[in-house]
Amino acid sequence: MNIIKMNDLDITGKTILIRSDLNVPIKNGVIQSDARLLAALPTIELAVKKNAKIILMSHLGRPTEGYYEKKYSLFPIFEYFKKKLHYTKVYFCSNYLHNIKLKKQEIAILENVRFNKGELNNDDILSKKYSDLCDIFVMDAFGSSHRMQSSTYGVAKFSNIACAGPLLIKEINCLTKLLEKPKRPMVAIVGGSKVSTKFNLLKKISKLADTVIVGGGIANTFLAIDYNIGKSLYEKDFILEAKKIRDKYNIIIPIDSRVGKNFSETAISIIKSPYDIQQNEEIMDFGDKTIQKVIDILKESKTILWNGPVGVFEFPNFRKGTEAIAKTIAKSNAFSIAGGGDTLSVIDMFNIKNDISYISTGGGSFLEFIEGKKLPSIHILEERFKTRKMN
């Protein structure tokens, strides 16, 4: 993969615009998980060390484009970095599309790029305004690299120099290693609510991994092939496709489940075999037999890919399966890669981030990269590499 790397450039005194992934959960102004912020920090610190003038930009949530909404403001993130980077000056900029003046080692954090009209449809005029802010554009947001938007793609197209940041390079190298030379046996855990959004991933991973463990609504769709699963979340239109995958590959489907009669935190958890589930019951977690089976498989693995919880982990009565998987992976000597927003939340919940070999900051980009898709932001960086070589 031929792309210009930030580490290979002399950025001393240059204004660099870093597209980071600072899209973290915020509740009542309080950051709930700083995993992505911590991942972005080394690139920022490196730029400070190299005496650059630093501009950071990111999206946050899904505001109505072109309108300010306080709950989607990056101000809490500015306050977070102001504390972390206390040794230099950090500014917050709301109106920034025309000019930003900084001294060496100073940092400007821009307000949510999705407050700007044209961001989502990769508007050329907006992209050029971004590019005019800097000497060098640094794409470091792997979690947004699957989006063809002004702050991820367009700005790279128009900037004088467009390069990849250390975090983006690290993500690419780590996931490439997983796809090309995994140590075996390799086990993949694919959870989440919808099989439709992860169907291509399942097909790709089923070919690559020795064993695939399915959980959540995805597992329910596989269970629905043979059983009446009551009012459990599943996708009827994907049952036939799920059957094709199950019959061809080594897919581990729950042999028992924790069910409840209503989707709530107070719902009573009952363990049942698939053939015993009643019409008024809903599958919300693995049962104990399934948990033990999964633990035994994980203990024998050399490579683990983990994407998504296997139950409604937000509810204490239905998090046992997800907790068991998280803690087993944490104790494992296998090379483990975890990715996806909910997966990051689980890692934070059980405080195991130091026990996972590599935690990807990507959600959709993580899935698309593993599926073998060319991510737009990486594609434009490759194109800019070619044009730079030609010039």
Residues known to be catalytic: 36, 194, 341, 364
Is 228 annotated in a binding site? The answer is no
Is 342 annotated in a binding site? The answer is yes
The 10 Å Cβ neighbour count of residue 293 is 17
Is 348 annotated in a binding site? The answer is no
Is 340 annotated in a binding site? The answer is yes
Is 22 annotated in a binding site? The answer is yes
Of the candidates 65, 45, 67, the one whose C-alpha atom is nearest the C-alpha of residue 56 is 45
Is 147 annotated in a binding site? The answer is yes
Is 344 annotated in a binding site? The answer is no
Is 60 annotated in a binding site? The answer is yes
In order of 167, 168, 304, the CA distances from 20 in angstroms are 9, 9, 27
The Cα–Cα gap between 53 and 90 comes to 11
In order of 25, 41, 172, 225, 360, the CA distances from 78 in angstroms are 14, 12, 27, 49, 23
Is 178 annotated in a binding site? The answer is no
Is 167 annotated in a binding site? The answer is no
Is 198 annotated in a binding site? The answer is yes
Greatest Cα pair distance, the chain, in angstroms, is 69
Q: Burial of 181 by CB count in 10 Å (0-12 exposed, 13-18 middle, 19+ buried)? A: exposed
> What beta strand segments (E) does 101-222 contain?
107-110, 136-139, 161-164, 186-190, 211-214
Is 372 annotated in a binding site? The answer is no
Cis peptide before 185, with omega less than 30 degrees from 0?
yes
- Residues of the binding site for ATP: 198, 314, 340-343
- Residues of the binding site for (2R)-3-phosphoglycerate: 36, 114, 147
- Residues of the binding site: 21-23, 36, 59-62, 114, 147, 198, 314, 340-343
- Residues of the binding site for substrate: 21-23, 36, 59-62, 114, 147
